[in-house]
Amino acid sequence: WGALCGARREGGGAMAAAAALAVLGPAPGAPSCPHGPALLFVKTCQGKEEGRRFYACSACRDRKDCNFFQWEDEKVSETRLAAREEYNRSHQPFFTHRQNVDRYKNFILLPLSKRRFCQECQQLLLPAEWEKHSDHQFLCDITTAQLKSPSQLLYPLENKKTNAQYLFADRSCQFLLNLLIDLGFRRVLSVGTPRLHEMIQSKASQEEEFNVRSLLLDIDFRYSQFYTEDEFCHYNMFNHHFFGGEAAHETCRKFLNEENGERVIMVTDPPFGGLVEALASSFKKLMAMWRETEKEGHDNREMPMFWIFPYFFESRILDFFPSFSMMDYQVDYDNHALYKHGKTGRRQSPVRIFTNLTPSMIVLPEEEGYRFCTVCQRYVSSGNQHCEICNSCTSKDGRRWKHCVLCKKCVKPSWFHCNNCNCCTLEKHSCEKTDTGCFVCGKAGHKRSTCPSLSRT
């Protein structure tokens, strides 16, 4: 399915017009690849019935990263099943989490001169292993401070569709932590947010009065070298798969149990190329785990959550979580060339915080250019001016948007109303007004992303 998606993303207009993919989500008895149970997909052609269903890797959208593929109705031979199981076993980490914890305990007992980290294998080395890595590049004299900040020691995995370890800049990380503390949360389920997790862990080890705890759920198993089973679970957020089995699942469930008034919040920063449908399905299952731990009266409540994602996914996120709203705060990253905090125009990061908390509770720093809108009852960017017609602060990207009377909504300042397209768009664009309907059902009046047929599926 990665090949089809790739063609669509890279301008394959004809293919995009002819076919689209829909994820049907996790299915009982689904086959597995090294990344856990596969997801079920279906190819839909414009105006036609659904195509043949198939399974593909939940985490990797590029066949070069994981080439797992199987038709739903395909009969797989015993020989092929055995070969697949062997392949999955061979692609698991060399050390278990427990072994990595024991290795770490031995590592910190070593004198500084004998602490080495192999940069090629991304592994802490004990002296007996030096010879095997003699032709590799490694770092020497690994300090305790470095061990407390593994996200700076490890190479970021920058496959934007699978791992996408664009790590929070210190500004954003500190803001998030201060905000969580001010809101009264004392437990943070850190789903794909290793830098926030390590900041909490570091402060907890250094400051006696610091009483915030964090559990990191992440698909990057390298973190098992630095955290115990109570601090890290190897987890795939695209299929809600705990690689550590029932023991890891129970660790997460226990962490979500709010004891002694310690409120829990989930903070997640998924890969931006990931499937929103699959992510939402997993997040709802984590919320269900939280509800199971509640003693009474919370059956209809949602676990408090920060979902950090680009603003242009707002409609997709609200499809799955109608109670969420988007904050104006710009989240920036250390190792991303574009997603940096800026003051004007396209220099601004498009990444925002989506939350089910009351917007007025999210206080944004005035010194960074945010102000409180008394009408909207939330903090907004200084450039986000309140529109009297829409009765809302409508800007999504930090710039001041303008109201279009014909479109009956506010649009980006660089857009102009096109009478041919009957909507606002960039001034220099190709008018491609057509009577072609939705790619899924063939009917006019809506796009594929809002197709009622797709929603039902």
Position 13 scores a pLDDT of 34
Position 21 scores a pLDDT of 73
Residues 61-83: tens digit of each pLDDT: 777 888 899 999 899 999 999 99
Query: What span, in angstroms and rounded, lies between the C-alpha atoms of 272 and 358?
Result: 25
* DSSP structure string for 235-283: EETTTTEETTHHHHHHHHHHHHS--TT-EEEEEE---TTS-HHHHHHHH
Residues 174-201: tens digit of each pLDDT: 999 999 999 999 999 999 999 999 999 9
Q: Token pair for residue 30?
A: 């689904």
Residues whose CB falls within 8 Å of the CB of residue 452, separated by 6 or more in sequence, listed in order: 441, 446
Position 63 scores a pLDDT of 79
Position 308 scores a pLDDT of 96
Whether the CB-CB separation of 66 and 34 falls below 8 Å is answered with yes
* Helix or strand run (H / E) with residue 151: helix 150-153
* DSSP structure string for 167-205: PBPHHHHHHHHHHHHHTTEEEEEEES-HHHHHHHHHHHH
Q: Token pair for residue 259?
A: 């004891």
Residue ranges and CATH numbers for the domains of the chain are: 19-91 (no CATH), 97-142 (3.30.160), 170-363 (3.40.50), 364-430 (no CATH)
CB count, 10 Å around CB of 161?
19
Position 259 scores a pLDDT of 78
Q: By C-alpha distance, which of 414, 420, 450, 447 is closest to 432?
A: 420
Query: What span, in angstroms and rounded, lies between the C-alpha atoms of 423 and 371?
Result: 31
At 14, phi and psi to the nearest 5?
A: -65, -45
**Three-class SS of residue 234?**
strand
CB count, 10 Å around CB of 195?
24
Residues whose CB falls within 8 Å of the CB of residue 354, separated by 6 or more in sequence, listed in order: 306, 307, 308, 309, 314, 317, 321, 324, 325, 326, 327
Q: Token pair for residue 422?
A: 């009957």
At 157, phi and psi to the nearest 5?
A: -85, 115
Q: Token pair for residue 199?
A: 């900041």
Position 7 scores a pLDDT of 30
- DSSP letter at 74 equals P
Q: Determine how β-strand 36-37 pairs with β-strand 378-381.
A: unpaired
Whether the CB-CB separation of 136 and 118 falls below 8 Å is answered with yes
pLDDT per residue of the chain (457 residues) written in tens, 0 to 9: 443 333 333 333 333 334 567 788 778 889 999 999 999 998 876 656 678 899 999 988 777 888 899 999 899 999 999 999 999 999 999 999 999 999 999 999 999 999 999 999 999 999 999 999 999 999 999 999 999 999 989 987 754 444 456 788 889 999 999 999 999 999 999 999 999 999 999 999 888 889 999 999 999 999 999 999 999 999 999 999 999 999 999 999 999 987 777 899 999 999 988 889 999 999 999 999 998 876 555 566 889 999 999 999 999 999 999 999 999 999 988 865 455 555 444 467 889 999 999 999 999 999 988 999 999 999 999 889 899 989 999 988 888 899 999 899 999 988 999 988 889 998 888 886 544 556 556 565 555 555 655 544 3
- DSSP letter at 43 equals E
Query: What span, in angstroms and rounded, lies between the C-alpha atoms of 408 and 38?
Result: 43
